[in-house]
Structure 1
Amino acid sequence: MAVQNVADASSIRTSGLCARDAGTAATAPGFRHFLGTPAPSQRFRAFGIDPLSSPSHHAKLRGLMHRLSRRMDAAIKWPPHQGRSAEHWENPFIPSGYTYLLQFIAHDLVHSAIPLSVAGGLGRGTTNARHTPLRLETLYGSGPVGSPHIYALDAPNDDRRTKLRLGRMRWKENEPATGCPFRDIARTRAENVTGIDRSIAGVRVALTEPLVADPRNDDHAVMSQLTALFALLHNGLVDIIRRQEDNTRPNGRFGAAYKRFLCARGALTAIYHNILRKDLMRRVIHPAIYQAYCSPNPSFIDCPDPAEGCAIGGWEIPFEFSHGAFRFGHAMVRHEYRINDLSLHDLNNTLEKSSANDPVNMPLDETWMVQWSRFFEINGSRPNLSRRIGPYLSDGLGNDQIFPAFDETERVGLLYRDLLGAGLAGMWSVDALIAEIGQRRPHFVAMSRLLADRAYRVSQLREWLAAAPAYGALSAADIETLSNDPPLPFFILFEAMQQPHAEGLHLGPLGSIIISEVIFGALASDPRLADGSSLSERMAGISREFYPANLLQEIPDISSMAQLVELTSEIAELQHAVPAFL
């Protein structure tokens, strides 16, 4: 019901249309277009036809995206690394934990009831219910009052809630004498009016319901473990604040709970933002673009234009980010993961480990407790590395149980969904987008021959599309339309693969610009970041919003995921946890 209310509010704000292209450029509430709504001549086309204005053309679009997705099944022959001990397809600069941090961020920016690819067109089911960007709504929901099921009671005789709920992990074998069992997200069973019970009678109860703010945070084992990591840190921050509170005043206990929660949430959000700015973005985007955007007050080119008649004041996310550039994280997913000292799991097994898919084996057992030095570089550890970024996805993302077919192509997998969703969104064509950016920031386009020289861009795309005829069986007409008008998520991966001397190690300029505008733009909307203050200064300011003194002064300057894990290990007393946390 809350999501529906947000959808209704967004619908009132935007009326589903921007005035610049009324009647032909419909958008879903909560979304907009990057750099303004493209004119009909500026939108992506397949075989010369705009899918947004020609629903009768959708069958041909589906066929084309099906064949392109098949072409992208061909493994990429990456060049060897210079002086780095990694497989050719691995990225030694991006440990695989960042793959799932990107997924967590995607959940924090976009929450729609139905994927656009499955919905088949823009409509109410594709509304984006996120109304504030990067404020950890995906973790906190609507807070202890609005989402009480994800919060733990403070004490047996106290109905206030300030900590995020966690669940006990399960032991396959006998539980050891030591160790902390609260390492999974909380899960429970539920009555089912249909009479379906997935439990194993007399053996194990099916825990079908993850008690999290965003059910997508239980999409698979690594995602639920990352969510538990953030919950553990929040709960540790609550403990730090609680130890220093003065609750001797009348009604002190009542007011303290709300202040404590808001202070801890503010602190974790500030840490999260610092990591996005100084760690994640530095790794995934083009170095020159990063330098242009990493300052506290960068110059943005994607500013909503009141002359368009679109809503201002209500945050909306560009399709070119959500259904285009930010899909690059799917290419970083490995085919298998060393989860901890006990277990190596392939991607299919990892994707199937959730309350939705495997409820009788929930909670997660010790073989699924993530040892974070396997996912981030901590004290010289050798973590799982992400895949290099290019137009290829690991086979597990074609899992027909997780990503089944939904249309007449019978194509399974995530890749087809990404490509089709982009084709249906009425997005800018790659050519028009490059031209528009070139008008506003010509030096950004000039740094890349692939962007600056259209003839070269078309020839490179044509050559790659024709290079593996056994995959996809692309026709000459397919190759011609795709090389002249590639779907945006495909081009972002292609551009990353084509980076001179850094093939697939980070995004190219176009992908980096779109992602920087949205991520750094969302960070700049936080008033605490506007003055460029340090994390310690922001922590002091957050604490003083609620308390006379700085109760967060013992929090160090956390600027990387490795440091976040180490801090969590310390304040949650998990340094010697069994199974290992670090």
Structure 2
Amino acid sequence: MQKNILTDPVLSITNPEVFSPNNPDNPSMTAGMTFVGQFLDHDLTFDPNSPLLEKTNPKKTTNFRTPKFDLDSVYGGGPEQSPELYDLSSGFIKLRVETIPGSEEFSRNGAVRFDLPRVPGTMTALLGDRRNDENVILSQLHVAMLMFHNAVTDRLQADPAHAGDSAQEIFKKARRQVRWHYQWIIVHEFLPLTIGQARVDDILQRGVRFYDVDDDRPQIPIEFSVGAYRFGHSQIRPSYRLNFGRPDHGHSPFFAFIFDDAQDPNDPDPNDLRGGKRAPRRFVDWQTFFNFGDGNFRPNKKIDSKLSSVVMLLPGSRGPAPGLPGDGVQSLASRNLMRHVNFGIPSGQVIARRMGLPVLTQAQLEPLASYGLDRNTPLWLYIMKEAEVMENGLRLGPVGGQIVGEVFIGLLKADETSYLTSRPNWTPVLPSAIPGDFRMTDLLTFAGVVPPLN
């Protein structure tokens, strides 16, 4: 029987040129950045009250996240308001994680792996944002952030300079270090990869030109949350190698589709990467997702007008799918376009002209002509097509890049507690491959979630 990319999750990874020719890889960005982008989105925005099938007034839409890169999705309301997220057993204020029973049998060298804390007797995760249990990769990234805080706490607690500090003082210092290193990654790694270093430098030096950010009560522009920042949907690979398994114990690498609606939603260990499950093999080997210099990383997909087939049939309508909508609309493209209409967002062409930026021609948008969208293109689709045409899909184009860059940097500068505002000359202090710099690989390594493969 001939294997097919729609039934075999290994093919699009091992031979993408043959089995995924119409959805090319992005050689400049690793697969993990897609999920960093999703994590950042969940740290900024959450609107549970805007029905997909109804017209929505942007001015009356409430954001249930703090519009800051402050990791409220991780810390919740703090140890007093969100005690279920915290572990005080060491005498210090750490974040709860739980071991995955039996994971050492599936993990190279018998390394124990960790999961989000869950309500006893259920698979309901205890975390500051339930959407971070949407898929295994995202939930494991959340676990990495929990363990990053705990590792920073251990480092401060062991430092004689902090010997007289109370547990509460150590917690506050650890949280600030975690936030600032996280913000550094946003400014010095995520944004340059996503919008280009030149645009990052321009916004840092000249400030925001289009985003009217209020320092006291910053708002998230709807053009960002419903339009520009959905570019990451085109970066999703159909399938991933979640981990390398433990072949010497008979366990092969775990390849799976990110979502597979054919899977039984009640299966405790389905053959896809949906969240809300705990099983011995459901953990991440980050060497696939970020470049640790060992040759094991894989790229994500280009930012273009193409989506992986698996996001055209999202789970949620057939049964439990934590963090995913259950309204029956399974196509991610349909969801995005319906949001555009419901919020009444101007077309990409209108916004480009208003910003004084280059406007895509009808010839460049010719594939959309049969749908009547070549003159009046929904912003989300326009921004992905702009990246495809103007940047070969490697990064966002002028409109998308400016919106994303101004919102990210504008929010950081509006936050008096961010390193950009309170100490703009600050540089990272934690151990890293390059002293004075800090990347996702450094964060994951310091958090202790990258056991060796050999």
Q: CA offset at residue 368 of structure 1?
A: 2.4
Aligned to 2:341: 423
The verdict on how the C-alpha distance between 1:459 and 1:317 changes in structure 2, with shifts beyond 3 A counting, is same
The verdict on how the C-alpha distance between 1:248 and 1:437 changes in structure 2, with shifts beyond 3 A counting, is closer
The verdict on how the C-alpha distance between 1:553 and 1:498 changes in structure 2, with shifts beyond 3 A counting, is closer
The verdict on how the C-alpha distance between 1:275 and 1:177 changes in structure 2, with shifts beyond 3 A counting, is closer
Among 208, 213, 223, the residue aligned to 1:300: 208
User: Any gaps of 5 or more consecutive residues in structure 2?
Assistant: 1-15, 246-252, 271-275, 319-324
Contact 2:236–2:308 (Cα < 8 Å) also in 1: yes
Aligned to 2:292: 378
Q: How many residues align?
A: 414
Matched, 1:166 2:74: no
Query: What does 1:489-508 align with in structure 2 at a 5 Å threshold?
Result: 489-499=380-390, 502-508=391-397
Matched, 1:559 2:438: yes
Q: CA offset at residue 320 of structure 1?
A: 0.3
Q: CA offset at residue 554 of structure 1?
A: 9.5
Contact 1:389–1:497 (Cα < 8 Å) also in 2: yes
Among 110, 133, 149, the residue aligned to 2:45: 110
Query: What does 1:434-453 align with in structure 2 at a 5 Å threshold?
Result: 434-438=352-356, 445=357, 448=358, 451=359
The verdict on how the C-alpha distance between 1:174 and 1:485 changes in structure 2, with shifts beyond 3 A counting, is closer
TM-score w.r.t. the length of structure 1 is 0.64
Among 460, 476, 486, the residue aligned to 2:364: 460
Aligned to 2:420: 529
Matched, 1:413 2:331: yes
Contact 1:286–1:509 (Cα < 8 Å) also in 2: no
Which residue identity does 1:535 align to in structure 2? T
Aligned to 1:219: 134
Query: What does 1:34-183 align with in structure 2 at a 5 Å threshold?
Result: 89-122=24-57, 126-155=61-90, 162-171=93-102, 179-183=110-114
SS in 1 for 2:364: helix
The verdict on how the C-alpha distance between 1:174 and 1:104 changes in structure 2, with shifts beyond 3 A counting, is closer
Query: What does 1:11-26 align with in structure 2 at a 5 Å threshold?
Result: none
SS in 2 for 1:92: strand
The verdict on how the C-alpha distance between 1:304 and 1:349 changes in structure 2, with shifts beyond 3 A counting, is closer
The verdict on how the C-alpha distance between 1:177 and 1:562 changes in structure 2, with shifts beyond 3 A counting, is closer
Q: CA offset at residue 186 of structure 1?
A: 1.1
Among 230, 241, 254, the residue aligned to 1:338: 241
Q: Which runs of 4+ in 1 moved over 4 A?
A: 123-126, 172-180, 245-249, 348-354, 356-363, 403-407, 552-556
Contact 1:285–1:508 (Cα < 8 Å) also in 2: yes
Q: CA offset at residue 175 of structure 1?
A: 8.0
Percent identity over the alignment? Answer: 26
C-alpha RMSD over aligned residues: 3.4
Alignment partners' CA distance in 1, 2:347 and 2:30: 32
The verdict on how the C-alpha distance between 1:180 and 1:118 changes in structure 2, with shifts beyond 3 A counting, is farther
The verdict on how the C-alpha distance between 1:535 and 1:351 changes in structure 2, with shifts beyond 3 A counting, is farther
Which residue identity does 1:394 align to in structure 2? S
The verdict on how the C-alpha distance between 1:561 and 1:118 changes in structure 2, with shifts beyond 3 A counting, is farther
Alignment partners' CA distance in 2, 1:432 and 1:175: 53
Q: CA offset at residue 353 of structure 1?
A: 10
Aligned to 1:314: 217
Query: Which string of whole-angstrom CA distances, capped at 9 and with x for unpartnered residues, describes residues 35-89 of structure 1?
Result: xxxxxxxxxxxxxxxxxxxxxxxxxxxxxxxxxxxxxxxxxxxxx99xxxx9971
Alignment partners' CA distance in 1, 2:297 and 2:199: 27
Alignment partners' CA distance in 1, 2:295 and 2:439: 15
Q: CA offset at residue 364 of structure 1?
A: 3.1
Q: CA offset at residue 459 of structure 1?
A: 3.2
Alignment partners' CA distance in 2, 1:353 and 1:557: 46
Alignment partners' CA distance in 1, 2:349 and 2:238: 33
Query: What does 1:218-237 align with in structure 2 at a 5 Å threshold?
Result: 218-237=133-152
The verdict on how the C-alpha distance between 1:318 and 1:561 changes in structure 2, with shifts beyond 3 A counting, is same
User: Any gaps of 5 or more consecutive residues in structure 1?
Assistant: 1-79, 190-204, 306-310, 439-444, 467-473, 540-551
Q: CA offset at residue 299 of structure 1?
A: 2.0
Report the structure number with the largest CA radius of gyration: 1
Which residue identity does 1:154 align to in structure 2? S
